[in-house]
Amino acid sequence: MTILDMHNHSVASDDARATVEQYAKWLDMLRRKGLEIDGFVLTEHRQFDTQRNYDEIAERYVLKIFNAAELDTDAGHFLVYGMNEPILKRFDLADVTMHAEDLVEVADDSGAIAVPAHVGRYNIGFCEFVERRPFPSVRVVEHLNGGSNDDEAARAQQLLAERGYVGIAGSDAHFVNRIGRYLTRFLDPVGSMEDIVAGLRAGRVEPLIADNVPSRAP
């Protein structure tokens, strides 16, 4: 079993204010207070740097740190796990109007997975598009998102109940004290991005909300 926070942004994203090491330090403090978490995924907005590596930070804080991406499409935002050369060659990641079905298809065919993010959010959530664009190959969506309000969370819950999607959770952290709140439990061990993709595709995951996470440093 492995528990990860699947959706977070560092200062590499234009609207975030936390460094990767600050996130690691914060999670180290939370673990000493009892939080069960093994690591987190960085999903920077509209970019993916193949040279970005956080192994030194991960080793120092005994955390798993993975890189993914959050991409804007014409059907809302998608979290792409397993970013690879076929995706990078096919799409301009900065293009906020990329065709969502194409992204899902290329990800599926190349060993990655594209997961609709914050699905209940108005205007940019999957709920806004799925009725007229059913996306038959989408099986996993972000059920719980740390930036969603109660109404958006209820919309997400209804979508999963109606369509039987597998749900994951992510804090959608942009500031240090927001990470570690919404987590995804993988039922199998995770040691690589390939393991993350395999777990998502197999549906061997479940979303969690962390208990007793402080909102500011002690």
Q: Give the model confidence (pLDDT) of 65-123 as tens digits.
A: 999 999 999 999 999 999 999 999 999 999 999 999 999 999 999 999 999 999 999 99
Beta-strand relationship, 113-116 and 2-8: unpaired
Per-residue pLDDT of 14-31, as tens digits, reads 999 999 999 999 999 999
In degrees rounded to 5, what are phi and psi of residue 72? -85, 135
**C-alpha angle with apex 81: 183 to 39, nearest 5 degrees?**
35
Residue 217 has pLDDT above 60, yes or no: no
- What band does 134 get if pLDDT is binned at 50, 70 and 90? confident
pLDDT of residue 96: 96
pLDDT of residue 212: 54
pLDDT of residue 216: 40
Q: List strand residue ranges (DSSP E) for 74-181, in order.
A: 76-81, 113-116, 140-145, 166-170
Residues β-bridged to residue 144: 169
Residue 161 has pLDDT above 60, yes or no: yes
pLDDT of residue 213: 58
Per-chain mean pLDDT for the chain? 95
Residue 168 has pLDDT above 80, yes or no: yes
Residue 55 has pLDDT above 90, yes or no: yes
Window from 9-13, 49-53, 79-83 with minimum mean pLDDT = 49-53
pLDDT of residue 211: 75
pLDDT of residue 215: 45
Q: Rounded to whole angstroms, how far apart are CA atoms 17 and 127?
A: 29
pTM of the entire predicted model: 0.95
Q: Rounded to whole angstroms, how far apart are CA atoms 155 and 127?
A: 7
pLDDT of residue 182: 97
Q: List strand residue ranges (DSSP E) for the chain, in order.
A: 2-8, 39-45, 64-73, 76-81, 113-116, 140-145, 166-170, 182-186, 205-209
